[in-house]
Chain A
Amino acid sequence: MTEAAAREERILGIIETARSKRARFRDAHITMSHGAGGKATQSLIEGLLLPAFENEALAALGDAGTVAVNGTRLAMTTDSFVVRPIRFPGGSIGELAVNGTVNDLAVAGARPLALSLSLVLEEGLPADELRAEVEAAARAAEAAEVQVVTGDTKVVERGHADRMYACTSGIGVLDPRANLSTTALEPGDRVLVSGPIGEHGTAIMLARDEFELEAEIESDTRPLWPAVDALLAEAGPALRCMRDATRGGVASALNELARASGVAVLVDEAAVPVKPVVAGAAELLGIDPMYVANEGRLVAFVAPESADAALAALRSAPGCEEAAEIGEVKTEPPGMVLVDTAFGGRRVMDLLAGDPLPRIC
Chain B
Amino acid sequence: MRFVDEFRDAELGRVLSGEILSLVEPGRHYKVMEVCGGHTHSIYKYGIDDLLPADVELVHGPGCPVCVIPMGRVDDGIAIAKTEGVIFTCFGDMMRVPGSEGSLLDAKAQGADVRMVYSPLDALRIAKRNPDRDVVFFAIGFETTAPSTALTLKRARAEGVPNFFCMCNHVTIVPPLRALLDSPDLRLDGFIGPGHVSTVVGARPFEFIPADYGRPVVISGFEPLDVLHSIQMIMRQLIEGRCQVENQYKRVVPYEGNLRALEVMAEVFELRPHFEWRGLGFISQSALKLSDAYSELDAERRYEVPGVRVADPKACQCGEVLKGVIKPWECKVFGTACTPERPIGTCMVSPEGACAAYYNYGRYARDREVV
- Chain A interface residues toward B at CB < 8 A: 1, 5, 8-9, 11-12, 14-15, 18, 28-33, 38-40, 43, 210-211, 264, 266, 276, 279-280, 283, 285-286, 330-333, 336, 338, 340-350, 352-355, 357-361
Question: Closest approach, in angstroms, between the C-beta of B317 and any C-beta of chain A?
Answer: 13
> B196 an interface residue at 8 Å Cβ cutoff?
yes
> B159 an interface residue at 8 Å Cβ cutoff?
no
Q: Which of B4, B92, B367 contacts A1 (CB 8 A)?
A: B367
Q: Which residue of A lies closest to B196 (CB)?
A: A361
Question: Closest approach, in angstroms, between the C-beta of B18 and any C-beta of chain A?
Answer: 12
* Stretch with Cβ within 8 A of A (4 or more), from B45-53, B181-189, B237-245, B257-265: B45-53
Question: Closest approach, in angstroms, between the C-beta of A348 and any C-beta of chain B?
Answer: 5
A residues near B303, Cβ cutoff 8 Å = none
Q: Which of A210, A266, A354 contacts B370 (CB 8 A)?
A: A266
Q: Assuming the A-B contacts A29-B106, A357-B92, are A333 and B45 also in contact, with contact meaning beta carbons closer than 8 angstroms in the complex?
A: no
User: In the complex, what distance in Å separates the CA atom of A43 from the CA atom of B340?
Assistant: 13
B48 engages A343 (CB within 8 Å): yes
A348 engages B352 (CB within 8 Å): no
User: In the complex, what distance in Å separates the CA atom of A330 from the CA atom of B94?
Assistant: 37
B368 engages A276 (CB within 8 Å): no
Question: Closest approach, in angstroms, between the C-beta of B56 and any C-beta of chain A?
Answer: 14
B residues near A8, Cβ cutoff 8 Å = 327, 329, 365
A211 engages B118 (CB within 8 Å): yes
Q: Which residue of B lies closest to A38 (CB)?
A: B341
User: In the complex, what distance in Å separates the CA atom of A288 from the CA atom of B47?
Assistant: 15
A31 engages B38 (CB within 8 Å): no
B365 engages A345 (CB within 8 Å): no
B109 engages A332 (CB within 8 Å): no
> B158 an interface residue at 8 Å Cβ cutoff?
no
Write 8 A-B pairs (CB below 8 A) sorted by A numbering.
Answer: A12-B335, A12-B363, A340-B47, A341-B45, A347-B47, A348-B363, A350-B363, A358-B93
User: In the complex, what distance in Å separates the CA atom of A110 from the CA atom of B94?
Assistant: 43
Question: Closest approach, in angstroms, between the C-beta of B227 and any C-beta of chain A?
Answer: 10
> B366 an interface residue at 8 Å Cβ cutoff?
yes
Within 8 A of A (CB), among B201-251: 224
* Stretch with Cβ within 8 A of A (4 or more), from B7-15, B266-274, B275-283, B286-294: B7-15
B364 engages A345 (CB within 8 Å): no
* Stretch with Cβ within 8 A of A (4 or more), from B79-87, B138-146, B308-316: B138-146
A15 engages B367 (CB within 8 Å): no
Size category of the B interface is 35 or more
Most buried by A among B92, B105, B196, B366: B92
User: In the complex, what distance in Å separates the CA atom of A12 from the CA atom of B329?
Assistant: 8
B362 engages A348 (CB within 8 Å): yes
B364 engages A336 (CB within 8 Å): yes
A358 engages B47 (CB within 8 Å): no
User: In the complex, what distance in Å separates the CA atom of A358 from the CA atom of B145?
Assistant: 15
Most buried by B among A15, A211, A341: A341
Q: Which of A11, A32, A330 contacts B105 (CB 8 A)?
A: A32
B residues near A15, Cβ cutoff 8 Å = 335-336, 363
Q: Assuming the A-B contacts A12-B365, A343-B8, are A330 and B13 also in contact, with contact meaning beta carbons closer than 8 angstroms in the complex?
A: no
B46 engages A345 (CB within 8 Å): yes
Which 6 residue pairs across A and B have the least CB separation, nearest first? Answer: A345-B47, A357-B92, A15-B335, A345-B50, A353-B340, A347-B361
B residues near A349, Cβ cutoff 8 Å = 361
Question: Closest approach, in angstroms, between the C-beta of A110 and any C-beta of chain B?
Answer: 33
A33 engages B110 (CB within 8 Å): no
Question: Closest approach, in angstroms, between the C-beta of A160 and any C-beta of chain B?
Answer: 16
Q: Which residue of B lies closest to A264 (CB)?
A: B370
B47 engages A354 (CB within 8 Å): no
Question: Closest approach, in angstroms, between the C-beta of A10 and any C-beta of chain B?
Answer: 9
Q: Which residue of A lies closest to B12 (CB)?
A: A343
Within 8 A of A (CB), among B100-159: 105-106, 108-110, 116, 118, 122, 140-142, 144-145
Q: Which of B48, B96, B142, B350 contacts A345 (CB 8 A)?
A: B48
A31 engages B109 (CB within 8 Å): yes
Q: Assuming the A-B contacts A12-B363, A347-B44, are A29 and B109 also in contact, with contact meaning beta carbons closer than 8 angstroms in the complex?
A: yes
A residues near B14, Cβ cutoff 8 Å = 344
Question: Closest approach, in angstroms, between the C-beta of B99 and any C-beta of chain A?
Answer: 14
A residues near B329, Cβ cutoff 8 Å = 8, 11-12
B340 engages A342 (CB within 8 Å): no
Interface flags for B28-60 (1: CB within 8 Å of A; 0: not) read 000000000010010011111111000000000
User: In the complex, what distance in Å separates the CA atom of A231 from the CA atom of B169?
Assistant: 55
B residues near A283, Cβ cutoff 8 Å = 1, 4
A210 engages B46 (CB within 8 Å): no
A9 engages B368 (CB within 8 Å): yes
Q: Which of A43, A280, A350, A358 contacts B92 (CB 8 A)?
A: A358
B residues near A357, Cβ cutoff 8 Å = 92-93, 95-96, 116, 351
User: In the complex, what distance in Å separates the CA atom of A353 from the CA atom of B351?
Assistant: 11
User: In the complex, what distance in Å separates the CA atom of A43 from the CA atom of B341?
Assistant: 10
A343 engages B13 (CB within 8 Å): yes
Q: Which residue of A lies closest to B365 (CB)?
A: A9
